[in-house]
Each structure stands twice: as C-alpha cells, then as structure tokens.
Structure 1
Amino acid sequence: MSETEAITLRRAEPTDATAAAHVFLRSFRAALPTVVRPRTDDEVLWYFREVLVPLQDTWVAVADGEIVGVMALDGRELSQLYLAPEWRGQGIGDRFITLAKSHSPTGLTLQTFQINTPAHHFYERHGFTPTKWTDGTENEEREPSVQYEWPPPH
C-alpha cells in the first residue's frame, strides 16, 4: 500500500476542528510567509470550531490518526484546501479536488492569492481557469487574488 492509499479522506467532526485549524496555520505560514493574516491564531481556531466545521461541508485527510489536510466546500465555493507542509506533493490535494468535483459536479469556484504560483499550477492542472484578478480590496488580507472556476465558463 502506498502512502496515499494509507490516507483516509472523511467528513470533519467537531473534534477535528482544532487539528484542522493547525494544519491551516502551518500551511499558510509555509506557503505564504509574506501574506499578513488579519486574524490571530485564536481567532482562526474559533472560526474552524464554530463556523467552518459545523456550517460548511468540511473534510479532513487523516494519516496514522493525524489530520494532515483540510478541505471545505461552501456551496459551489471551494473555500479551503490546505495540507500540512510535509504532506504536499503526495496526491492528497488531487484526491480532495476529485472529491470536491464529485460534490459539486456543476461547477466550483475558488480564490487564491496571486503570489501563490504553486496553487495556480495545481488548480490549472485540475481544469480550473482564472476568471478574475483582483487588487486585494475584496479580501481581509488586502492581498491581490485570482478567482478560478471549474468548469471554465463558456
């Protein structure tokens, strides 16, 4: 069995919120060190516990009993997809995207920061198309972003 096969994707439970938030925090710091987060770690933990896990279609990737990834869908929006830095490049993100597409077969939208070139390549490899570039005034971080859509609009 490969490492990817040993990883389970499952719906997040309330008890997963803290571990999922820590994956987000570690991933954000590793991938986006120059982006200033507008929320403290405690506020992020509260958001995962009180909003993300109970109110969105939130999934976690679990390896050896440890949460190593988190994905959340809010309707057609892929609102979160973060992996623990040491678990990147092992197919977990691919599995999350396949899952997201199966739950929203009519289409998905997402936002990522313009400086996050690896995310652009990842989403474009999965058939997402950039549809809107912003100057950052529309997000809390005030960081220029890109909206992606799948399938591409015709």
Structure 2
Amino acid sequence: MSGEPAPVLRRATAPDARVAADVWLRSFSAALPTVVRPRSDGEVHDYFRDVVVPRLETWVAESADGAIVGVMVLDGDLLAQLYLAPDWRGRGLGDRFVALAKERVPQGLTLWTFQVNEPAHRFYERHGFVAVEFTDGADNEEREPDVRYVWRP
C-alpha cells in the first residue's frame, strides 16, 4: 500500500451510489459495532441512489485502481457523512476530506457523531471542531447518544 498514489477526490455520479453505500456499510460496521443500524443494506443502497448522490453534495475518494474507498456528504453547512473503507483509515484520507469540506463551506461546519465513537471525537477535535451539544439519542433513528460538533474559521 505504501508508495501507491493518493486517491482522487471527486464528485460522485449516479454509478457511484451503490459502491459508496457499500463503503458506508463496511465503515459503519467496523467503526460502530455496538450501534444498532435501523436500516437494511437494501434501504441504505436505495437512500444513496435516490437521495444522497442525486440531491446532496456527495464526494468520493477513488483509488488508483478505480475502487471507491471513501465517501463524504455535505448538506449545506452539515458534514452529513464521512466514511472510509476500513483499510483506508489512518492514511490521511479523512484529513483530505475535512480540508475539502472546509474549502467548500468556509463559513463553518457542523456535524453529528455518536458518543461511543471516540476515534471520531479525536479526529474532529484535531481538525478544530468543538463539541457543543450532547444528546440522549432520542432524536436520531439509531436511538444512540450523540454529540454535535461545530467548526468555525
């Protein structure tokens, strides 16, 4: 893996939806094994096909061999999704996605992550995000306590 070119970040297109959803599913399972997912794999694929890729600002990371290895979704100033294929974590790809998000939304960003996702807390705090709200999870479909982070330039 060392020495290979860095993945290219590009806007997602309709044919990317299925593979982007697959990255989301693998990443969610690896990073959040204790969080109950309320949607089936098929529902996640449908959501990426019908909503995420066509209606939101969706970016993918494409490796040199053409594989989609990461996905980031912006919905206005909300960093709605940032998921990497498990074998691409810790290799700087998330850093590149956050830099892109800050470039795309320079006035500031907000995001939600689960309280159990300590690696995400460390990652976002390293990038200047500050925790501003903690919830009991009553307002998310997973019913999992979460935390809202904000970044302001």
For Structure 1 versus Structure 2, the TM-score category normalised by the shorter chain is: over 0.9
Tell me by how many angstroms 1:2 deviates.
4.2
Tell me by how many angstroms 1:6 deviates.
2.7
RMSD, aligned CA: 1.2
Q: What fraction of aligned residue pairs are identical, expressed as a percent?
A: 65
2: CA distance, partners of 1:2 / 1:21: 27
What residue is the counterpart of 1:66 in the other structure?
67
What residue is the counterpart of 1:10 in the other structure?
10
1:22 aligns with 2:22: yes
Mind listing any 5+ residue stretches in structure 2 that lack a counterpart? none
1:37 aligns with 2:50: no
Q: Which amino acid aligns with 2:50?
A: E
Matches within 5 A, 1:3-152: 3=4, 5-63=5-63, 64-151=65-152
Instruction: Say how many residue pairs are matched.
Output: 151
TM-score (normalizing by structure 2): 0.96
Q: Which amino acid aligns with 2:126?
A: R
Q: Deviations over 1:94-148 (max 9, x none)?
A: 0000000000000000000000000000000000000000000010000000000
Q: Deviations over 1:35-74 (max 9, x none)?
A: 0011000000000000000000000001110000000000
2: CA distance, partners of 1:39 / 1:94: 28
TM-score (normalizing by structure 1): 0.96
Displaced runs of 4 or more, over 6 A: none
2: CA distance, partners of 1:25 / 1:129: 27
2: CA distance, partners of 1:126 / 1:39: 30
2: CA distance, partners of 1:79 / 1:2: 31
Mind listing any 5+ residue stretches in structure 1 that lack a counterpart? none
